[in-house]
């Protein structure tokens, strides 16, 4: 719209007449004065309609929350004693001259800021996402994604679009969704894993950020059936620690950018942006289990994996001992890792990779991959997979593949952990689960 200015920029227009537009947040009538809080995507401001502006008064009297209006008015500086400290635009007030109604709104189903049951919150996302905290979550998410891509592009990575429609349930789980594909059964990709390895043969360093699908029949605060995976794969590595180093570097960039651009959003959640140690504490699984035994008294030293409680303990330990919100646990038993994972030749039976834990939870699985064709085929056979089904993928290895490794990071889980949000679905824009696609299924 011509000449419309953002509400966040009002401070630069004190004494001027401006045109702004947005949603009515609240209307309050005080005798002959009508106060309206107007919200746009950038900020919020208090406006006053004085009796002198009769046309504006008439329109203002009709306004209800969420009506969309355009306003012409004067930007007045509040007297010093009326300044609302710490409030957005607390030092200005708009004196309304004209109001144009752009769209009306029906009666809201609940009070704008009322506490809602989480299911109701999700049923009304087109409305509830307009809340300040909800908007903050997805601004932070957009910033994470932007920083991730900018950093990697600067490091010579090439972004690619991984297909989500795949022919075979390549990773061998029961967790894939079936798609009816012209008389065939196709599947939704659980990760871009096989494609990003193929892409190492093309561009050496690649990343992809896109949706992945898990047909898990769990409805917990940790599970999503559709989420955004940030995936990277790096060729010509020495070992998996090169991948760990790259991850710490991009995480450091993300946190630096969040500090610069999202301080307001973090303040709303009373959340701290972590410092990222470039030298993250690293520990093999067996050593980590020893720590758990010594420090927390539980003997899990023959387990092949970490339980959620173990992850919390190790993070607690890392914080106390190394002052780090992160800790990397490597060398899980190779039998429990996917077929493409490289075994440590110097520590047989264990994987060249592991999990990055952050604030009590695993946020990344990372590993060096097998790059030798014959070794890869043997690994598939050992896992009971049929190499013929992987003939397309295997070409990448048949025709020369450098040592490489990579990682996957769930965008929604990272967002949730950073902001201290308990349920990952709250950090997912339109979450899909066992009982929900938008407001469908459960009904």
Footprint (CB under 8 A) of a copy of itself, residues 86-115: 102-106, 108
| Residue 26 burial class via C-beta count within 10 angstroms: exposed 0-12, middle 13-18, buried 19 and up | middle
Residue number, 60 or 283, with CB nearest to a copy of itself: 60
Residue 133 CB, nearest distance to a copy of itself (Å)? Answer: 12
Per the structure block, which two tokens stand in for 164?
């989500």
Taking CB under 8 A as the criterion, the residue among 124, 269, 296, 322 binding a copy of itself is 124
What residues numbered 320-339 form the site for a copy of itself, per CB under 8 A? none
Question: Residue with structure tokens 């295997």?
Answer: 394
With a CB cutoff of 8 Å and minimum separation 6, the contacts of 294 are none
What residues numbered 252-281 form the site for a copy of itself, per CB under 8 A? none
What residues numbered 368-397 form the site for a copy of itself, per CB under 8 A? 371-373, 391-393, 395-397
Residue number, 97 or 149, with CB nearest to a copy of itself: 149
Which three-class secondary structure state does DSSP give residue 293?
A: helix
Contact indicator for 97, 64 with CB cutoff of 8 Å? no
Taking CB under 8 A as the criterion, the residue among 26, 43, 203, 290 binding a copy of itself is 203
Residue number, 12 or 153, with CB nearest to a copy of itself: 153
With a CB cutoff of 8 Å and minimum separation 6, the contacts of 51 are 32, 33, 57
Asked if 116 touches a copy of itself (CB under 8 A), the answer is no
Q: Would you say how long the chain is, in residues?
A: 443
Asked if 67 touches a copy of itself (CB under 8 A), the answer is yes
Which three-class secondary structure state does DSSP give residue 157?
A: coil
Residue 322 CB, nearest distance to a copy of itself (Å)? Answer: 25
Taking CB under 8 A as the criterion, the residue among 17, 29, 58, 178 binding a copy of itself is 178
- Whole-number Å distance between alpha carbons of 246 and 230: 13
* Only segment of 203-211, 299-307, 322-330, 334-342 that touches a copy of itself (CB under 8 A): 203-211
State how far the alpha carbon of 283 is from the alpha carbons of 229, 244, 275, 341, in Å: 25, 12, 20, 18
* Only segment of 43-51, 66-74, 81-89, 312-320 that touches a copy of itself (CB under 8 A): 66-74
Asked if 181 touches a copy of itself (CB under 8 A), the answer is yes
Taking CB under 8 A as the criterion, the residue among 14, 202, 263, 267 binding a copy of itself is 202
Q: Say which DSSP state 305 is in.
A: S
CB half-sphere exposure, 126, CA atoms < 13 A = 5
DSSP 388-412: GGGHHHHHHHHT----EEEEEEEHH
Bridge-based pairing state of the strands 17-30 and 178-181: unpaired
* Only segment of 72-80, 119-127, 250-258, 340-348 that touches a copy of itself (CB under 8 A): 119-127
* Only segment of 30-38, 85-93, 129-137, 346-354 that touches a copy of itself (CB under 8 A): 129-137
DSSP 188-220: E-S-SHHHHHHHHHHHSEEEEEEEEE------S
Asked if 304 touches a copy of itself (CB under 8 A), the answer is no
State how far the alpha carbon of 134 is from the alpha carbons of 38, 427, 430, in Å: 18, 8, 12
What residues numbered 402-441 form the site for a copy of itself, per CB under 8 A? 402-403, 411, 429-430, 432, 434, 437-441
Residue number, 40 or 303, with CB nearest to a copy of itself: 40
Asked if 139 touches a copy of itself (CB under 8 A), the answer is yes
- Whole-number Å distance between alpha carbons of 295 and 288: 10
* Only segment of 16-24, 73-81, 318-326, 359-367 that touches a copy of itself (CB under 8 A): 16-24
* Only segment of 82-90, 234-242, 308-316, 358-366 that touches a copy of itself (CB under 8 A): 234-242
What residues numbered 211-230 form the site for a copy of itself, per CB under 8 A? 211, 213, 215, 217, 225-226, 228
Bridge-based pairing state of the strands 226-235 and 205-213: antiparallel
Asked if 2 touches a copy of itself (CB under 8 A), the answer is yes
Taking CB under 8 A as the criterion, the residue among 9, 21, 50, 387 binding a copy of itself is 21
Residue number, 280 or 401, with CB nearest to a copy of itself: 401
Asked if 130 touches a copy of itself (CB under 8 A), the answer is yes
Taking CB under 8 A as the criterion, the residue among 114, 117, 238, 302 binding a copy of itself is 238
Residue number, 11 or 333, with CB nearest to a copy of itself: 11
With a CB cutoff of 8 Å and minimum separation 6, the contacts of 79 are none
What residues numbered 347-366 form the site for a copy of itself, per CB under 8 A? none
The 3-state secondary structure of 55-71, one letter per residue = HHHHHHCCCCCCCEEEE
What residues numbered 141-170 form the site for a copy of itself, per CB under 8 A? 141-142, 145-146, 149, 153, 156, 158-168
- Whole-number Å distance between alpha carbons of 130 and 138: 11
- Whole-number Å distance between alpha carbons of 5 and 16: 12
């Amino acid at each position: 719209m011509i000449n419309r200015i953002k509400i966040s920029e009002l401070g630069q227009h004190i004494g001027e007449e401006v045109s702004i537009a947005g949603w009515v947040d609240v209307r309050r009538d005080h005798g002959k004065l009508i106060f309206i809080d107007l919200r746009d995507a950038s900020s919020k401001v208090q406006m006053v309609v004085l009796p002198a502006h009769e046309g504006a008064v008439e329109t203002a009297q009709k306004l209800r929350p969420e009506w969309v209006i355009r306003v012409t008015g004067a930007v007045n500086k509040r007297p010093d004693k009326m300044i609302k400290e710490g409030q957005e635009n607390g030092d200005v007030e708009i004196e309304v001259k004209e109001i144009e109604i752009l769209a009306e709104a029906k009666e809201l189903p609940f009070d704008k800021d009322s506490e809602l049951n989480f299911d109701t919150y999700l049923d009304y996302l087109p409305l509830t996402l307009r809340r300040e905290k909800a908007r903050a979550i997805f601004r932070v998410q957009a910033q994470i994604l932007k920083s991730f891509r900018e950093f990697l592009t600067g490091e010579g990575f090439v972004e690619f679009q991984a297909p989500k429609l795949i022919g075979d349930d390549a990773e061998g789980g029961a967790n894939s969704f079936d798609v009816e594909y012209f008389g065939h059964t196709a599947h939704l990709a659980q990760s871009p894993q096989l494609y990003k390895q193929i892409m190492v043969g093309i561009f050496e360093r690649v990343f992809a950020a896109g949706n992945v699908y898990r047909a898990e029949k769990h409805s917990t605060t940790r599970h999503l059936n559709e989420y955004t995976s940030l995936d990277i794969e790096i060729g010509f590595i020495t070992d998996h620690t090169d991948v760990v180093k790259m991850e710490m570097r991009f995480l450091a960039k993300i946190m630096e950018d969040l500090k610069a651009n999202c301080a307001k959003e973090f303040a709303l959640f009373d959340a701290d942006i972590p410092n990222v140690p470039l030298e993250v504490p690293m520990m093999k699984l067996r050593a980590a289990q020893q720590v758990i035994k010594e420090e927390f008294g539980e003997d899990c030293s023959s387990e092949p994996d970490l339980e959620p409680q173990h992850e919390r303990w190790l993070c607690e330990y890392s914080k106390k001992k190394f002052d780090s919100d992160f800790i990397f646990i490597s060398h899980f038993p190779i039998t429990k890792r996917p077929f493409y994972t490289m075994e440590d030749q110097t520590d047989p039976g264990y994987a060249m990779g592991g999990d990055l834990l952050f604030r009590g939870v695993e946020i990344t699985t990372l590993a060096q991959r097998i790059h030798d064709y014959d070794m890869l085929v043997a690994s598939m056979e050992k896992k009971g997979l049929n190499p013929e089904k992987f003939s397309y993928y295997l070409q990448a290895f048949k025709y020369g593949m450098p040592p490489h490794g990579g990682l996957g990071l769930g965008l929604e889980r990272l967002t949730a952990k950073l902001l201290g949000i308990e349920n990952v679905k709250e950090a997912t824009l339109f979450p899909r689960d066992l009982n929900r696609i938008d407001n469908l299924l459960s009904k």
